[in-house]
Structures are given as structure tokens and as C-alpha cells.
Structure 1
């Protein structure tokens, strides 16, 4: 596979990068987060769009983002009824796989900084995906157990040995990503776990990069306690079922 530069991608009528940011009730910080990503991506000279997908937010997140988009045409605000984090990510991935050479996902809570993206971008020439590893991450015992379970599930189901299979800071080549998206249902709870496994099994060239992780300072974690456990069990079942899908080799 070859990698085209910004000029080549633009000449071909395709973006070089589609950055996907799911958003839910982050009005206090989402404007500054979007601004930081726009600044970093502009500074790297990338032909890109930043797609903020507002997942049925009940606060002013959409209005804040639209105000930013008035000043920054590369920011696209896509508002939709609430369907959950996983389906929102998949919506962005499906768009990006069509419109851009590369697809990147980050969250809108500022737990992983835009400033770290350049290191991932530099690695793209020799790989098909670069997956972040959340470093210095503070987790409750329950969250640590769920994270470990996701890692072990991806390893058992797909033979995937990535350190952080559900990391929401990942860069993927569209030609590697697109065929993997086809068998994934839109309601998949944790598509990043599934995609980590599928990328590994497909023979994709993978790299991992530690990315600083900071505790959130605003907003709320929407899935806690027994709800988090039920979500983990649902994700486990979906991951195992999808491991039976035919995965094309890259």
C-alpha cells in the first residue's frame, strides 16, 4: 500500500484524513477540545475534516460546536438522536472510510490530548493502523477488570495482542478499515475492541504508541456500576460472535 500526501489526496478529490469525535453532553469543554484539534491538524498541513458527531446531547454541546464551525469550515457538526457511543463511532468510521485515506478517532472529553497526534501521523507510512496506549490512566477496580476482560476477549477470539484494544485514540488506513466494517452491526457496543481483533487477524501492519491520559475534569461518565458490567457482558458476546465473521487478509 502507498500513502499519498495532502496534495495528492486533494487532487484525487479525497480527504487525507477524517477525524471522528463522538460527543455527548460535553458543553463545558467540547469547544476548546475541537479548537485544539483544529489547531493541531492545521499545523500538520493535512487535508482533513474533523467530524463531531453529537449523539443526542441534552445540553448545549451542539450549539457550542456550531459556533466553532462558523469560524472553522473544516469542522463538520453531525447531530443525531442518541444511539450510544459505539454506534456513533461506527457512523463516523463509515463516513471516513469513504471520504478519506485515513480515519482517526478521538473522544471529546480531553482525556487524551490533540498534541500527541503528530506522533501517530508520522508512523502512518509503514503501517495500516496506529493504536494508542492510554498511559497514566486512573481506573477503578471495576474498570480495570473490564479493560482486562476486553483485552483477553480480543486475544482469545482473534489472537489480538494489542495492549489497549478499546483505546479511543486510533489512526486507521481506510483501505484496511473499510472491508472490516461491513460485517459489524450498527448497534455494536464496543466496535473498537472488535476492530482491534479484526485488524490483527487480517494481517494489518500495526503499531502502538503510548499517549498521555488525564482524568476528565468536566462532564460525567455515563456507564457505571452494574450498568458497566452489563455493557461489558454485551460487548463480550458481540465480540465473540463477530470473531466468526470472514475477515479478508490485507
Structure 2
């Protein structure tokens, strides 16, 4: 396929320190791939200077489209909102990546090129060398086993946030889940297998998050804990219930 218009979509929450470097790196690496590149960043009502940083960057970074969420909704709903905003720009391909900057710009290029060269419905960036706490890696592995049983095949790195979609494919997937889904990418991985989507996997490096905090603010802690924080435990329980209700129970939408 000939790539004319590429859109990067990104949820962000309290990423003021790392976003300028990451967005500049994305633009530098991806701009040569398509005549038009747009960067849609949805700020989930950050409590730091993320909103101001994005609007300041938009004055100098071509194609940057800051979107201010009305209320704080969490990562999953913000990612869905970012996808929908990106679809509204009518691109040839949509690349999703989180705002914490845990990928090399060169690896984003490799996933886009894989999508272009193969014509796949979706390309997953499979993270290698993850430095997340043991319990997050264990949780991902456990979810992977559940998804493999439900989808009938193993899906490497089932919840990876680095994905490149054909617009038609992601539009179908978005219509199959609620807009407030906590773990949209896990639902997508199940649906991609069940629907017979053409999926390609590209190994990518997993970097420490950019900015001064090693853990960010997602789980309500400032440094890497040895045991799962209470907020993460509550999230895991709510996500399991959602997965059963939306994608796993008999008769669930596919």
C-alpha cells in the first residue's frame, strides 16, 4: 500500500516531563514515512503541566493535535477516545502508543513499515526487556493464558500499547467494546483472533518511562513497590469482571 496519511494516537496523564522529547522523536522518525503525519494526544485531565506543555508544543510541532478530556476517565477510556479522534482524521493507518515514552522512535518505524509491507489488519509491537515490577509482568502472563484459551491461539504480549491498525479494523473493534472499557487492548487481542484478522508481530525494545518518576502516577505510588499496590489490585479485579462480561462469557460480543 502507498502510505499518504499516518496518524499517531496517544493517551497521556501526567507526562509533562517526558512528552516533549518523545513527541519530537516520534515526529523525527515517522515524518519521512508519509506526506502527512498527525499526532493526536488526549490529556486525561492531568494534574501536572501536561495540558500546557501540549498546547505550547502544538505551536512548533507540525501535526500535533492536543485534545483535552472533559473529565479524568483512566487509561482505557482515554485510549479509546484517542482512537476515535484519530479515525476522524481519515488516515491510511493509525498507530497507538502510550504517552510514557517507553519505545524507541525507530521501533515505531518498524511497526509501521511492517503494516505497509504486509497489508496486515494490525501489527503488534511485542515488548522485550520489560522493566516493570514482577507483579505486572505476572499479571500480563496470566491474562495471556486466559486470552490464549479464549482466542484459540497464543497472543504474544497481549496488552501491548504499541499497535498499528488499518482504520477499518480498529473501527470494527471499537464498536465491539464499551467506551469506558478498562482494558481495550486485551479485548482487541481476543477479537482479532476470533475474527480472523491478519496480525503481524514485531519485537521492540521496552524502555524505562521518560521523566523523573520511574513508575508514573497510574498506581498511586512514587517508587517501584515490592508488592502490588491496592489501586492495582482493585484495577485487576475490575478488569477481570469486565473481560468476562464483554469478551469471555458465552454469548459475549465478538
**Aligned counterparts of 2:238 and 2:148: Cα–Cα separation in 1:** 17
Match of 2:106 in 1: 115
**Aligned counterparts of 1:153 and 1:106: Cα–Cα separation in 2:** 24
Match of 1:63 in 2: 52
Match of 2:223 in 1: none
Which residue of 126, 131, 135 maps to 1:138? 131
List aligned pairs for 1:1-250, cutoff 5 A.
Answer: 3-6=1-4, 16-80=5-69, 81-98=71-88, 99-124=90-115, 125-126=117-118, 127-218=120-211, 219=213, 220-223=216-219, 225-243=229-247, 244-247=251-254
Change (3 A) 1:246 1:129: same
Whether the aligned pair in 1 keeps the contact of 2:125 and 2:202 (CA below 8 Å) is yes
**Aligned counterparts of 1:18 and 1:216: Cα–Cα separation in 2:** 22
Measured after TM superposition, the shift of residue 46 of structure 1 is 4.3
Mark the runs of 5 or more structure 1 residues left unpaired by the alignment.
Answer: 7-15
Superposition CA RMSD, Å: 1.7
Mark the runs of 5 or more structure 2 residues left unpaired by the alignment.
Answer: 220-227
Higher mean Cα deviation, 151-160 or 27-36? 151-160
Classify the secondary structure of the residue corresponding to 1:100. Answer: coil
* Cα distance per residue 1:79-99 (max 9 Å; x no partner): 112110000000111222342
Normalised to the residue count of structure 1, the TM-score between the two structures is 0.88
Measured after TM superposition, the shift of residue 221 of structure 1 is 4.0
- Count of residue pairs brought into register by the alignment: 236
Normalised to the residue count of structure 2, the TM-score between the two structures is 0.87
**Aligned counterparts of 1:187 and 1:181: Cα–Cα separation in 2:** 11
